[in-house]
Structure 1
Amino acid sequence: MGAVGLLYVGAVLFINGLMLVGAIPGKSAGILNFFVGGMQVIFPTLIILGADGDQATIFGAAGLYLFGFTYLYVAILQFTGISGEGLGWFSLFVVFCATVIGILQFTLVDDPVFGVIWLIWAVLWFLFFLVLGLGKESLTRTTGWFTIFISHMTGTIPAFLLLLGEYETTTGYALIVALAAALSLGVAWVLGHGADPPKTSTAPAASIAPAASTAPATSTRPA
């Protein structure tokens, strides 16, 4: 279930990134956010109901609600036109949670690759906070391009590796992911400050935000 959920995290991040750069309208992206957000709320509920009081399992599932609610929040904003300041400040809370979970990946789980992935998500959500919470709309397209790049790096690719039983976590691989993310952020900055976005987009920056996922059970990998 973790690998399947992670695959759809990659999908929703990709779609939300396209929305942020103005390639697709907000309502079109909102539909997938409803689907994935619903999944990220239903799954942890089932996990907790079947946990039989196991605290590690409950802790892992509880984090899923953070991001399930984020996806649903994004979808609601797109269909109602409500401003995104609340989601922006909620994203700052997610930044804190993602940072803690990332550290725990290094110290408790001994999974440096997902430790780096969680820290990348923390950076991404901090950008959401800047755009939505603080109104830094000049960063909207940079955030969108970064979201597109890391959607595959932190979602699609590790999901397929997990599904195929080929996932490995080492310090070397973690460094490669970290360097790729840093390069992606640099390229996103250049693209974000280039040409004007397409005029076909109907989604205002103040009501846009992508989302990510947290981890189930004790693995702290997305579900």
Structure 2
Amino acid sequence: MKTLSRKLLWTSCAAALLSLTSACGDDPPEPECGEPLYGGDATDEAWRTLVDAKDQPADSSQAVTLESPAPGESYSTIDAPPTWRWSSPLASLLPGPVEPSRHVRPRDEGRSVLAWLGNLILPTAEAHLPPFTGDLYWVEVTVPGRECPVQILTSTLEWQLDAATWETLRGAVDQELSIQVTSAYLVQNRLREGPYRLATPRTFRMVGAR
């Protein structure tokens, strides 16, 4: 009994010491910024694929070319929400063969016509967006004073800013904002090319009414 008590004591002390050491040495956790806006055919599962790859070494070899905003461009607070555009070498890639994904559900050949019609009227809870294949662009705008960036994940080569997003950016009057674009090519939610990032984030400014 005494031996068991000593083992429990040592286990408790070791766990407490490990917890204390870990708490002292760890960096503060990153803020929970939540999901981005979605554009085109981008999905939340595709976004999680890019999140998982975000700590990979920086690679700008096939990064996008930003057409707008231009380097050092200024926007007035009374301007209409702009459309930002870019080009990408990933846009010309074609999907290749991949191993079957665990996210892909086999087709149910024995499903009855009645069940199929019923699912059209009342979809099952298992229904989900299909795995994404194609080029993706994760655009993040760093705004001074905000812990989290303004961001969108899109499968298109442009971002037409909505009124709410533009209102957030307009609040940073006479300050410099930066935009970073992470691009990748996915096949059924699996990373095939990338991620690629701009070597240097593009900066622009918001200015008061001209």
TM-score, with structure 2 as normaliser: 0.25
Give the structure with higher Rg (CA): 2
TM-score, with structure 1 as normaliser: 0.24
